[in-house]
Amino acid sequence: MVKPFQFAPLPKIIFQPGGLDKLPALIKSYGRNAILVTGKHSFMNSEKASLLIQELGRVGINYQLVTISGEPSPDDIDNHVRKFSSEKYDCVIGIGGGSVLDAGKAISAMMYKTDSVTDYLEVVGTKESPGTKLPYIAVPTTSGTGSEATKNAVISRIGNSGFKRSLRHDNFVPDIALVDPELTLNCPSDITAASGMDCFTQLLEAYLSDKSNLYTDALALEGLKAIKSTLIASYKDGNNIEARSGMSLAALTSGICLANAGLGVVHGFASSIGGRYKLPHGIICGTLMAAANDSTIKKLRRVLPDSSSLKKYATLGRLFLDKDGPTEDFLIDEFVDYLRKLTEELHLPELKETGINENDLNEIAQITECKNNPVRLESEELLEILKSRF
């Protein structure tokens, strides 16, 4: 019997190397006045940005530029919305990494509202979003979050009482996801590693999620195949367009999968740590990925030895090792070892190297959520994961 499931809306997806050339016409289909959200440096300093700006002027599109540095805060979103709310705009375009895409998504959702984005965030907010927004076009320049295909925007306030929470509504899925792998060619190796491990984690957690279904499993496995063949290749040679295209596909697929199957304990850590420390999301995911899966597997073997999740882990072993094994346990253990070696090959730091205070580990473990994980991990087990990577 097929397990019941629901599938979230998707954007119109345009996947094409060189596809940025289509952007002016896409914007013009909504009107002539746009808000363009980018990062502070990388894209706007590129030749592609210069050509885009020239073309926008040629076809008569007026735009206001917003630059985002790091993960967007509530103040970032509120200030930009206030700045532009007195004028009429036809659409919002986000061109950048996951933080930029989330910021653009939130700005499109909050335009012409008078309250704060904080009021609508999950857990910390008290209001339910009506789902109104300006049309939004998402153009990723990294291969990580898959925000171009999701309905949520992650907003962070950093500090001891900080948070990292989502603004979420089905209507907030971008209207258009324009994925041009050529835009990722200039991505530095450290960002390639961090964003790639975020993508890998999302695909893996969606595949193993207790909310997964036949559709998300099929998509996740295709994304994981792309990870296997292109993550290291894109890290070692950032100008390899074939590898970059594979990672762009993996990231897009990871967004579709997480939107429909949810994420697990690694992203629980990313939320609890990311609300306290100003650390790249992908670094947190990447450095904890092997340890968190090892702990999950050990508990599954202890309390659910016949679970379908262990069979999925064995499938992952076959996929990433390119071989079968004498037993499923062998394949599972080899897969965890693969994750450990990958963490080292991508030079992902241990937690103590990131500036996390060891005295904070217990509190981080206490507040970390373990939603959608194949098995629930208690705070003591979460603490052991953190300690193993300190």
Per residue in 217-231, pLDDT (tens digit) is 999 999 999 999 999
d(CA 247, CA 198): 11
Query: Is the domain of 194 the same as that of 152?
Result: no
Residue 70 has what pLDDT? 85
pLDDT at residue 169 above 90? yes
* Residue with tokens 């990871």, as numbered in its chain: 254
- Structural domain of residue 294, as residue ranges? 189-388
Asked whether the predicted pLDDT for residue 352 surpasses 80, the reply is yes
> Would you say residue 162 has pLDDT above 90?
no
* Same-domain pairing of 154 and 210: no
143 and 199 co-located in one domain: no
Last residue of a domain, one of 161, 184, 207: 184
Residue 110 contacts residue 92 (beta carbons within 8 Å): no
- d(CA 110, CA 140) in angstroms, rounded, equals 21
Q: What is the pLDDT of residue 22?
A: 98
Cα dihedral: 355, 356, 357, 360 (round 10): 160
Residue 157 and residue 301 in one domain: no
The count of domains in the chain is: 2
Instruction: Please tell me whether residues 276 and 384 are part of one structural domain.
Output: yes
Last residue of a domain, one of 130, 160, 184: 184
Q: Which residue has the tokens 């016409």?
A: 25
Q: Domain check: are 135 and 37 in the same one?
A: yes
Q: Nearest Cα to 319, choosing from 200, 235, 237, 213?
A: 200
The last residue of one of the domains, among 137, 159, 184, is 184
* Predicted local distance difference test score (pLDDT) of residue 170: 94
Residues 282-341 pLDDT 10s? 999 999 999 999 999 999 999 999 999 999 999 999 999 988 889 999 999 999 999 999
Give the pTM: 0.95
Give the model's pLDDT for residue 223: 98
Same structural domain, 347 and 229: yes
Res 248: pLDDT: 98
Q: What average pLDDT does the segment 230-257 reach?
A: 97
Mean pLDDT for all residues in the chain: 95
- Note whether 111 and 218 are same-domain residues: no
Percent of the chain at pLDDT > 70 equals 100
Residue 236 lies in a domain: yes
Instruction: Tell me the pLDDT tens digit for each residue of 100-121.
Output: 999 999 999 999 999 999 999 9
The stretch 16-45 carries a mean pLDDT of 94
Q: Are 124 and 194 in a shared domain? A: no
